[in-house]
Structure 1
Amino acid sequence: MRIGCPREIKNQEYRVGMTPAAARDAVAAGHEVVIEAGAGVGAGFADEDYTAAGASILDTAEEVFETAEMVVKVKEPQAEERARLREGQILFTYLHLAADRPQTEDLMKSGVTAIAYETVTDRAGGLPLLAPMSEVAGRLAPQVGAWTLQKANGGRGVLMGGVPGVGPAKVAVIGGGVVGTHAARIAAGMGAEVTVLDKSLPRMRYLDDVFGSTFRVRYASGENTEELVAESDMVIGAVLIPGAAAPKLVTREQLGSMKPGAAIVDVAIDQGGCFETSKATTHDDPIYEVDGIMHYCVANMPGAVARTSTIALGNATMPFMLAIANKGWKQACADDPHLLAGLNTHAGHLTYEAVGRALDIEVSAPADMVG
């Protein structure tokens, strides 16, 4: 199979969909790999690293899209990229369709077979291709939140760990999954007073057993959420419903109860955000203010640490990419129901139920696509 990897064109996106290590393994398995010139530079990979791995370098994205049987990316295809997709071609990348009708409609119109990293599952019920970026984003969230809290950025001017005689920042993390756990660990490590909110009793017991007094865990009732949002200096939104739009857990009205200059970090913004006042921002202009509350809602947070993120993502995606290339997407999905869960569109059909519910689009059963 001819596998193509174009340079990412989303604003301030420096990750790349394929590492030289992944290219080497694909070539060793008998596949052809083509990389757009300069695609890996932002993550610290030179074109020479790819040629040494056996890949070929193409001058333009047009050449990659035109010749590749499978296109491997990081972020969802932008409008100009979607115009280059075609029926019979495989797209393997993050999509986050539930909050993006234009992209969904374009992918269906193109006829491309689109497999989304974020909906591939595993035997434990996890999301193995989303987890690496959730870990990165979770660990970044307190870091960018601390920066947002600085007075020069419009924040309250509160230091995360305080100093002797002055208390630390209070941080609420909504959601105790992968993002929330990593965010809570880092925030607590920075010296903040941290509380994690979650509705799963087994998850709360796990967090309490593993982390003990590192941070507090409370049930995410409406009353508890309102109370913690009001008293916190920073609120991190870390709620995920696989493939679906994020629920709005904090309303604009509730901002009025927050401390002036408090910071909101919405890690769920890729799925529409879990705060009513959230809107996607970029690394160029990451912060905005609503009713005196500072919002950090960058939709590709892991892009800020492109090398770490690229290597972590490549480690997770490579086995699935090779399975698709070795067997063809139909056989690979037929053999692995967890990979089949990643199928979002095929030949004009939408094949992911949660996206269909979010966008009110008819959904075809993914199993019917591989039959």
Structure 2
Amino acid sequence: MRIAIPTEIKPLEGRVGLIPEACADLIAVGHQVRVQQGAGEASGYPDSAYTKLGVGILPDAVAIYDWAELVIKVKEPYGPEPQMLRADQTLFCFLHLAANEALTHSLLASGVTAIAFETLADGGGLPILAPMSDIAGRIAVQAGSHLLWRPEGGKGLLLGGLPAAQRGRVVILGAGQAGGNAARMAAALGAEVTIFDTQRTRMEAMRELGANVTALYPYQESLAEAVATADLLIGAVLIPGAQTPHLVSRELVGQMQPGSVVVDISVDQGGCIETIRPTTYEEPTYVEEGVTHFGVANMPGAVPKSASQALSAAMIPYLQRLASGQWRDDPVLGEALNLSGGELIYPVLRDQYLRKQTKKIV
């Protein structure tokens, strides 16, 4: 199979779809692999790192998409990319279509077959999404801590506190992969952490992080009380393939103290905080209701070498099965299919768009 890796063009997205060693494994079993010129440079992989392992280099995106049977990306098609895709191609990347109706329509129009990393479930987990969630959870705390600095418009607060100085209060929505990592990072800094989740096993795991961590069920009253006093609010709610519901209203954000910070990791699925909107690392923040919001939808893109290595390792077992051409009978890959031949396939996504169409008709 002809497998192609284009350069990521989302602003300041430094990751690459496959690192050279992963490409070499595909070549070893008979596949052809091409990488767009310069695609790996931001991740620390010059073109020479690919060519010495037998990977071909193509000069631009047009050449990459013209040649490809299987396109491997990190982030969803951006800018002119949807128009380059064809019905005889398969796309394997993060898609987050639930919160992006325009992209969904573009991909449907192209006829491309698209399988999303974030909907690939195996063994009760989300193995390709998981390492990126690990990174995003950690970055959320690091970014939030920095934004609490006074020169950044924050409260002038050190999250971990000091002798004779109060600890910062961190509230986290969701104790899954991203939220759990955020809690570990915040707890290690010494912050006072309150994390909300509906699953008892997750809450028990969070309680083991230390005496400065409290795990609670998200009753409306408990959630409202915690958010109103939070210095840093982190959203980390995930419903695979679906748009994230708003758990925190604009009114509740307005009750937070001026200079507080909101970071919503789930922004690429629509966000679980009503006031959040997607941003990029070029302009990562904005202020609403007196609160600084960080809505970067590709947080792991800031650490592209680490993220690309972790992503390739998580992806390659599934990519090898996908490239075999027999993937439609594979229970894992088949159930991660989002759309194909102009039709929405993934049930949660299909149902969401059917409801939207019904509302428009009514």
Aligned to 1:261: 259
Q: What secondary structure, in the 3-state scheme, does the structure 1 residue paired with 2:238 have?
A: coil
Aligned to 2:301: 303
Deviation at 1:206, TM superposition (A): 3.4
Determine the C-alpha separation between the residues in 1 that align with 2:127 and 2:184: 20
TM (norm. structure 1) is 0.94
Check conservation: 2:86, 2:111, Cα contact below 8 A.
yes
Matching residue's letter, 1:211: L
Determine the C-alpha separation between the residues in 2 that align with 1:31 and 1:362: 41
Matching residue's letter, 1:300: N
Deviation at 1:360, TM superposition (A): 2.5
Q: Which runs of 5+ in 1 are unaligned?
A: 364-371
Aligned to 1:61: 61
Deviation at 1:259, TM superposition (A): 1.2
Determine the C-alpha separation between the residues in 2 that align with 1:321 and 1:361: 33
1:309-348 alignment to 2 at 5 Å? 309-326=307-324, 328=325, 331-334=326-329, 336-348=330-342
Would you identify which runs of 4 or more consecutive aligned residues in structure 1 move more than 6 Å? none
Determine the C-alpha separation between the residues in 1 that align with 2:73 and 2:212: 37
Deviation at 1:168, TM superposition (A): 1.1
Deviation per CA, 1:282-303, whole angstroms, max 9, x where unpaired?
A: 1011111001011001010000
Aligned to 1:94: 94
Determine the C-alpha separation between the residues in 1 that align with 2:108 and 2:102: 10
Deviation at 1:354, TM superposition (A): 1.5
Check conservation: 1:244, 1:355, Cα contact below 8 A.
yes
| 1:47 equivalent in alignment to 2:47 | yes
Q: Report which stretch shifted further, 215-224 or 310-319.
A: 215-224
Q: What secondary structure, in the 3-state scheme, does the structure 2 residue paired with 1:285 have?
A: coil
Q: What secondary structure, in the 3-state scheme, does the structure 2 residue paired with 1:161 have?
A: coil
- Out of 352, 356, 362, the residue aligned to residue 346 of structure 2 is 352
Q: What secondary structure, in the 3-state scheme, does the structure 1 residue paired with 2:301 have?
A: helix
Q: Over aligned residues, Cα RMSD in angstroms?
A: 1.4
Matching residue's letter, 1:64: I
Identity between Structure 1 and Structure 2 (%): 46
Aligned to 1:182: 181
Deviation per CA, 1:182-207, whole angstroms, max 9, x where unpaired?
A: 00000111111111111112322233
What is the number of residues matched between the two proteins?
Answer: 357
| 1:32 equivalent in alignment to 2:32 | yes
Determine the C-alpha separation between the residues in 2 that align with 1:59 and 1:216: 53
Deviation per CA, 1:42-99, whole angstroms, max 9, x where unpaired?
A: 1000100001111000111111100110000000001311101001101000000000
TM (norm. structure 2) is 0.96
Determine the C-alpha separation between the residues in 1 that align with 2:159 and 2:307: 25
| 1:84 equivalent in alignment to 2:84 | yes
Check conservation: 1:185, 1:214, Cα contact below 8 A.
no
Check conservation: 1:350, 1:361, Cα contact below 8 A.
no
Determine the C-alpha separation between the residues in 1 that align with 2:49 and 2:355: 43
Matching residue's letter, 2:76: E
Aligned to 1:249: 247
Q: What secondary structure, in the 3-state scheme, does the structure 1 residue paired with 2:348 have?
A: helix
Deviation per CA, 1:308-347, whole angstroms, max 9, x where unpaired?
A: 1110000001111111112x1xx2231x212112100111
Determine the C-alpha separation between the residues in 2 that align with 1:211 and 1:152: 31
Check conservation: 1:173, 1:237, Cα contact below 8 A.
yes
1:1-371 alignment to 2 at 5 Å? 1-123=1-123, 125-208=124-207, 210-213=208-211, 215-326=213-324, 328=325, 331-334=326-329, 336-360=330-354
Determine the C-alpha separation between the residues in 2 that align with 1:202 and 1:314: 29
Q: What secondary structure, in the 3-state scheme, does the structure 2 residue paired with 1:211 have?
A: coil
Q: Which runs of 5+ in 2 are unaligned?
A: 358-362
Determine the C-alpha separation between the residues in 2 that align with 1:30 and 1:260: 59
Check conservation: 1:37, 1:58, Cα contact below 8 A.
yes
